[in-house]
Structure 1
Amino acid sequence: MKINIIGRKVNLRNNFKELAEKKLAKFDRIFDQDAEATVTVTVERNRQTVEITIRQRGAIFRAENTAMDMNEALDHCVSALGRQMRRNKTRLEKAKKVDPGMEFADSYYDEPEEELQVVRTKRFAVKVMGPEEAIMQMNMLDHEFFMFRDDVSGEINVVYRRKNGDYGLLVPDEK
């Protein structure tokens, strides 16, 4: 797995980089060499945020944690990634085509397996509008996200409310 470590508003020490690489190396047996992991550390007002994103063949695993100490935030992120991988074990096995008997059990994977199930399907007309109007509609409905057809590109897009209160826009990739 290829690992990129990025520091925003902070100069990262070598011992943190080595620790991050050591902790992510535990996932090498799950991901192949084409996988890319990006560790981003941001420091704002004495709060340190660590975000880890692992991409492999269209599958994305992501965890983010904010703490007073970046090592603590890193530990929480690695633990969260382990839980995600445990929950998605069969999907990972199919994507990598590994031996189904492969051991996923370790201290990061102590959560019981859960069954994923769609409990409700809702249909609605997707209207043509711009992102600003979609945000307004989302706020009026008091939802966390809103799907719409972009008035410029004609593609289906999604606006969503981020944890910090800002808004995000999901746009289909050209690939």
Structure 2
Amino acid sequence: MQTTVTFKNLNPSKHYKAYVCDKLDRFDKLLDNPAEANIVLSVEKLRHIAEINLIGDRLNINAKEENSDMHAAIDLVLDKLKKQLKKNKQKIRNRRSGSKESNRNKSISRESTTYPEDSEKQIMVQNIEYKPMDIEEAVMQMNLISDYFLVFTNSLTDRVNVLYRRSDGDYGLIQPNA
């Protein structure tokens, strides 16, 4: 794992750098692909702050902790990072083990589901139909409709994609991995 350690308001210490790097090397078994770790160790008055940004293939995890002791802050942020990594790995496992048939279903039934009696929330499911088109055609369709998203089958990959309108006015595309 490639690591970068930055010190803010703290004298650079080989001890802290070695301590963090040794602990981070244990995370390699949790990662499928090589990752890059950016570590920031800082001191603000009496607070010792440890922040780690872990960036990898389809992975971006941030963790930040503070304590009165730098070693404790590092241990806390590493624990938080480990929990997030395990949670992320479990999500990936759950997605991969999902039914293939559900991905092929081309329509969604319209129904209203109600939570228990004490709750007033409802889930409205809409029936949509999507047709094969390329991304440029989907953008043109998006310009014609006033919805925030458009579900379509990408004619190049034959997979379901979602084109959505971002808050800055541009478009975003959600597509499944190969």
TM-score category (smaller protein): 0.5 to 0.7
Evaluate the alpha carbon distance shift between residue 15 and residue 149 of structure 1 in structure 2; reply closer, same or farther with a 3 A threshold.
Answer: same
Look up the match of 1:149: 167
Look up the match of 1:6: 6
Q: State the 4+ residue runs in structure 1 displaced beyond 6 angstroms.
A: 119-122
SS in structure 2 of the partner of residue 18 of structure 1:
helix
Asked if the contact 1:35/1:56 (under 8 Å) is kept, the reply is yes
Q: Quote the RMSD (CA, aligned, Å).
A: 3.3
> Rg larger in 1 or in 2?
2
User: TM-score if structure 2 supplies the norm length?
Assistant: 0.52
Distance 1:72 1:120 in 2: 44
Evaluate the alpha carbon distance shift between residue 91 and residue 46 of structure 1 in structure 2; reply closer, same or farther with a 3 A threshold.
Answer: same
Asked if the contact 1:85/1:92 (under 8 Å) is kept, the reply is no
Residues matched between the structures, number: 110
Unaligned runs of 5+ in 1: 95-118, 127-147, 157-175
The structure richer in helix per residue is 2
SS in structure 1 of the partner of residue 167 of structure 2:
strand
Identity %: 25
Look up the match of 1:15: 15
- 1:155 maps to a residue whose letter is D
Look up the match of 1:79: 79
The structure richer in strand per residue is 2
Look up the match of 1:43: 43
Evaluate the alpha carbon distance shift between residue 120 and residue 63 of structure 1 in structure 2; reply closer, same or farther with a 3 A threshold.
Answer: farther
- Measured after TM superposition, the shift of residue 31 of structure 1 is 2.3
